[in-house]
Amino acid sequence: MERVAVIMAGGGGVRLWPLSNPQTPKHTLPLFSQKSLLKETIERIAPFVGSEKVLIVTTRDMAIEVAKEGDVPRERVIVEPRGRNTAPAVALSTLYVMNILGEEAIIIVLPADHHIEPPEALWSCLDKASKLAQDGWLVTLGIPPTRPETGYGYMETGEMLIPSALRVRRFTEKPSLEKAQKFLEEGNYYWNSGIFIWKAQTLWEELVRHLPEVALPLDKFRNTAWKVTVANLEALYSRFPNISIDHAVMEKSQRVAMVPANFQWCDVGSWASLWEILEKDHLGNVSRGLAQILETQDSLIWSQDIPVKVLGLNNLVVVATPQGVLVCPMEKSQEIKKLFES
């Protein structure tokens, strides 16, 4: 079985603002160790597929930095002229894999900015998913929910296909708190991890069926030596829709399966999710940098070169960097994007 990992390293980086921003995307940050999230992702998947089978897809303005940060050869970085969400990125990387490794290759799509422990548990899930993918399924890893989370997408599961694999009935994107509580109680819902496993040919067929406006223009580059350049793609990308692979294909396909995950997972999608996974003091606080905390509980105080003092507050996020200062209740940290939309 020929397996290849495609790491998605795009995004604007506002969800962890001001620590991350368009110039310093989230995947470049060293949040859990001295290594960036991107580097940790590469080192997590490389033992499973082989280091030479790790590809990164990113945009033109980040390509050089991504290659340097990930310490990968430039030829293993697939470059988009601009970010158009995950569906065009997945389509372009699938085309690359088919032309280089063939249509039977199993592709593992991974976000660059997730935190997963231990890697061996991830590999076990990916091995099961790869076998399903060989049989023509589009497979995702599902995270058993631990709370009624409104910031994640959910998958409703149906019948068992094989031991440790279920059919996906439908997707629900970021439900209300009431719905999320109902999903938790029903027990057959999982969080969508954003990790996908499929055979190159299977995914391409589904792209042609459900997203022809992207797949068909790219199809002219199939079965050729890989000579696709950013200049070739510029005109195409200007017409591509801005759409995720979840909305474009996964929600519409009848061939979606899920393998439940048995590892610790965090998508680092908000300051609250980062607070949950980091080590806390006896009062439930996470602090970094030049932070002084007194009579404060269940808060995240993150300072980068700026002294921050917090007194008598609870459930708060305070982040101070030279790029800006963020102060918000912990439960509002999922909504930071609103500050950039107004």
Q: What is the 3-state secondary structure (H, E, C) of 303-335?
A: ECCCCEEEECCECEEEEEECCEEEEEEHHHHHH
d(CA 279, CA 287): 9
If you count them, how many residues does the chain have?
342
Q: What is the pTM of this model?
A: 0.93
Structural domains for the chain: 3-269 (3.90.550.10), 272-341 (no CATH)
Strands 256-260 and 154-162: unpaired
Report pLDDT for 12. 65
Q: How far apart are CA 291 and CA 281, in angstroms?
A: 13
Please report where in the chains the tokens 């992702």 appear, as a residue: 41
According to the model, what pLDDT value does residue 342 have? 63
pLDDT at 330: 95
Per-residue pLDDT of the chain (342 residues; tens, 9 = 90+): 899 999 999 876 688 999 998 788 899 999 999 999 999 999 999 999 999 999 999 999 889 889 988 999 988 999 999 999 999 999 999 999 999 999 999 999 999 999 999 999 999 999 999 999 999 999 999 999 988 888 889 999 999 998 889 999 999 988 888 999 999 999 999 999 999 999 999 999 999 999 999 999 999 888 766 667 788 899 899 999 999 999 999 999 999 999 999 999 998 889 998 999 999 999 999 999 999 999 999 999 999 999 999 999 999 999 999 999 999 999 999 888 889 886
Amino acid at position 210, single letter: H
Q: What type of residue sits at position 224?
A: T
Q: Which are the contacts of 212, defined by CB distance < 8 A and separation ≥ 6?
A: none
Q: Report whether 338 contacts 270 (CB < 8 A).
A: no
> Please, what is the end-to-end C-alpha distance for the chain in angstroms?
49
Token pair, residue 337, equals: 């994007």
Give yes or no for a contact between 138 and 206, defined as CB atoms under 8 angstroms apart. yes
CA–CA distance, 55 with 7 (Å, rounded to integer): 6
pLDDT at position 225 = 61
SS (H, E, C) the chain: CCEEEEEECCCCCCCCCCCCECCECHHHCCCCCCCCHHHHHHHHHHHHHCHHHEEEEEEHHHHHHHHHHHCCCHHHEEEECCCCCHHHHHHHHHHHHHHHHCCCCEEEEEECCCEEECHHHHHHHHHHHHHHHHCCCEEEEEECCCCCCCCCCEEEEEEEEECCEEEEEEEECCCCHHHHHHHHHHCCEEEEEEEEEEEHHHHHHHHHHHCHHHHHHHHCCCCCCCCCCHHHHHHHHCCCCCCCHHHHHHCCCCCEEEEECCCEEECCCCHHHHHHHCCCCCCCCEEECCEEEECCECCEEEECCCCEEEECCECEEEEEECCEEEEEEHHHHHHCCHHHHC
